[in-house]
Chains A and B, each alone.
Chain A
């Protein structure tokens, strides 16, 4: 009997994060092929209300690990709780979103269990021989590596926006189990003193469906409102190139590129971005790329789906108005 495909579910503001739902959606199809039960594991504090959503997106079973010590994410506590459960149940695969938590938790979990791991995957397919084949970018997306785990469980983090969301089936029911966290004391050597979330109504950059980004062509910090207004018209996140960040025009957390965030939105609108190899590395997997640049020879035009050659200070506000008419 197959032992299960586990999704470690992440929550934000008492809701399951989109990337976790994407993982449930895509793993549902794989579980149907392999006969593995699809298990949503939800660690945290007061998480029982999330079970219904996990079921609606395809979970056969929802495991709740509810514990005060899991209220804030810490590497040690989460590793301790999850590694014990994984040892006990021996699932075939453990999948996480490639988020701040996933990136930190998955490697520690993999090492604790003495197994391999595939990071930041942009593809995952079932294969009879090697179970799951993961595809992941290397050299900032300038090449791809396909690999699989030699032992079980196969652990991977999957980049947000890689897989589409399935339509939720609210009538779907899952078995619900409660597990105790059982955290070792030596895994409690870190505490979260304070969480400071930016008060932004915009979507998180790495999960956004649409990103509007500004580069060197923005000429200064005072002009970024043009990008923000455009983003707000279509519910997009704001991004920036390294040139804009290094010039001090916008905070580093907005940087897209090889030394910034890697993003994979449905639509990426690059304004005044020349399209350096490092920038393309961070957004090259976007489904549709739009470029607005006054230089017709800018490299960004060689990769974009749609381009307008012109002054962004004229074009972008006009585009914002057009977007407002659409939504």
Chain B
């Protein structure tokens, strides 16, 4: 089984967000990690490989530091990687990412494509679904259970208020939600072998995209930081008294109940 996993390098969830002089996010001092949801996708891919054989190819886009994220995936057990890296891809929107990834993936054989349900940096959760459309394959979002048999995937996905079981023909794109599995730690041997795995770097031209005709579909975002919330009132008194006063404040002052 040819399994493709799309991974993105993101800021660590602990990272503090700071804007530089020109209003862009300053990522220079930030620890970068593999998008946590993509780790669930890698784990699921490795489990499929263990069951059905075949191999796991990581596909990513990014700059200089992106290979670090791929190396984490290699250490977990992925077999090879494809990284699309191009100066024209400095600030792609979701449409562009989906087009690039779809072009890169269409160059390799695939039976199933897994990725995280959302990247924790831009939080848009669009790219995987768009990519499925670009590839002309179905997709199932936000899966918490997966079984594959006879060219079909049966996935349980999270919906509002519950779950549903969706059967889909392969190839398909499936996006991983927390709860799908517990990603393995890379082993010592996995780490030692990671640097020897094949990482193919491709430019936009290599995937058949003309960088000059590549424009955004959304305006370049104007960034701002949230107004910091200030700590409010501490409701004093003995527990019974404080609880009573809090209920009163919520009703009369905050009008929240």
Within 8 A of B (CB), among A231-270: 234, 252-253, 255, 258-260, 266-267
Q: How far is the CA of A186 from the CA of B66 in the complex (A)?
A: 35
A144 pairs with B162, CB closer than 8 A: no
- 0/1 interface trace, chain A 79-100, chain B, CB 8 Å (1 if under): 1000000000000000000011
Q: How far is the CA of A326 from the CA of B226 in the complex (A)?
A: 33
- 0/1 interface trace, chain A 291-327, chain B, CB 8 Å (1 if under): 0000000000111111111110011001101110111
Contact residues of B: prevailing secondary structure: mixed
Chain B hits for A75, CB < 8 A: 129, 138-141
Query: Cβ of A115 < 8 Å from any Cβ of B?
Result: yes
Shortest CB-to-CB span from A235 to chain B, Å, is 9
B243 pairs with A110, CB closer than 8 A: no
Contacts A75-B138, A104-B141, A116-B216 given; indicate if A252 touches B178 (C-beta within 8 A).
Answer: yes
A119 pairs with B218, CB closer than 8 A: no
B234 pairs with A301, CB closer than 8 A: yes
Chain A contact residue count (CB 8 A cutoff): 94
B254 pairs with A288, CB closer than 8 A: yes
Residue in B14, B142, B234 whose Cβ sees the most chain A Cβ within 10 Å:
B234
B133 pairs with A112, CB closer than 8 A: yes
Contacts A75-B139, A139-B11, A139-B123 given; indicate if A196 touches B164 (C-beta within 8 A).
Answer: yes
The stretch from B91-99, B190-198, B202-210 touching chain A is B91-99
Q: How far is the CA of A148 from the CA of B163 in the complex (A)?
A: 33
Q: How far is the CA of A192 from the CA of B164 in the complex (A)?
A: 7
Chain A hits for B225, CB < 8 A: 142-144
Chain B hits for A107, CB < 8 A: 94, 124-127, 129-130
Residue of B nearest to A253 (CB): B158
Query: Cβ of B120 < 8 Å from any Cβ of A?
Result: yes
The stretch from B15-23, B47-55, B78-86 touching chain A is B15-23
Within 8 A of A (CB), among B220-257: 220-226, 229-235, 239-240, 242-244, 246-247, 249-251, 254, 256-257
Query: Cβ of B34 < 8 Å from any Cβ of A?
Result: no
Chain B hits for A267, CB < 8 A: 250, 254, 256-257
Within 8 A of A (CB), among B114-173: 120-127, 129-130, 132-134, 136-142, 144, 154, 157-169, 172
Question: Of B95, B179, B219, B243, which contacts A147 at CB under 8 A?
Answer: B219
Query: Cβ of A165 < 8 Å from any Cβ of B?
Result: no
A322 pairs with B247, CB closer than 8 A: yes
A197 pairs with B95, CB closer than 8 A: no
Chain A hits for B233, CB < 8 A: 305-307
Residue in A107, A278, A290, A306 whose Cβ sees the most chain B Cβ within 10 Å:
A107
Query: Cβ of A140 < 8 Å from any Cβ of B?
Result: yes
Query: Cβ of A193 < 8 Å from any Cβ of B?
Result: yes
Q: How far is the CA of A111 from the CA of B230 in the complex (A)?
A: 41
Chain B hits for A173, CB < 8 A: none
- 0/1 interface trace, chain B 2-19, chain A, CB 8 Å (1 if under): 000000000101111101
Contacts A143-B225, A288-B254 given; indicate if A196 touches B163 (C-beta within 8 A).
Answer: yes
Query: Cβ of A284 < 8 Å from any Cβ of B?
Result: yes
Question: Of A120, A290, A318, which contacts B123 at CB under 8 A?
Answer: A120
A79 pairs with B133, CB closer than 8 A: yes
B140 pairs with A190, CB closer than 8 A: yes
A147 pairs with B120, CB closer than 8 A: no
Contacts A144-B223, A194-B165, A303-B231 given; indicate if A318 touches B243 (C-beta within 8 A).
Answer: yes
Chain B hits for A186, CB < 8 A: 136
Query: Cβ of B73 < 8 Å from any Cβ of A?
Result: no
B242 pairs with A315, CB closer than 8 A: yes
Question: Of A116, A142, A302, A305, which contacts B218 at CB under 8 A?
Answer: A116
A118 pairs with B218, CB closer than 8 A: yes
Residue in B25, B232, B244 whose Cβ sees the most chain A Cβ within 10 Å:
B232
A-B contact pairs, 6 of them (CB 8 A): A107-B129, A116-B217, A119-B124, A143-B25, A143-B226, A147-B219
Task: Please list the residues of chain B having a beta carbon within 8 angstroms of any beta carbon in chain A.
Answer: 11, 13-17, 19, 25, 36-37, 93-95, 98, 120-127, 129-130, 132-134, 136-142, 144, 154, 157-169, 172, 178-179, 215-226, 229-235, 239-240, 242-244, 246-247, 249-251, 254, 256-257
Give me the 3 closest cross-chain CB pairs, A-B, nearest first.
Answer: A116-B217, A145-B221, A116-B218
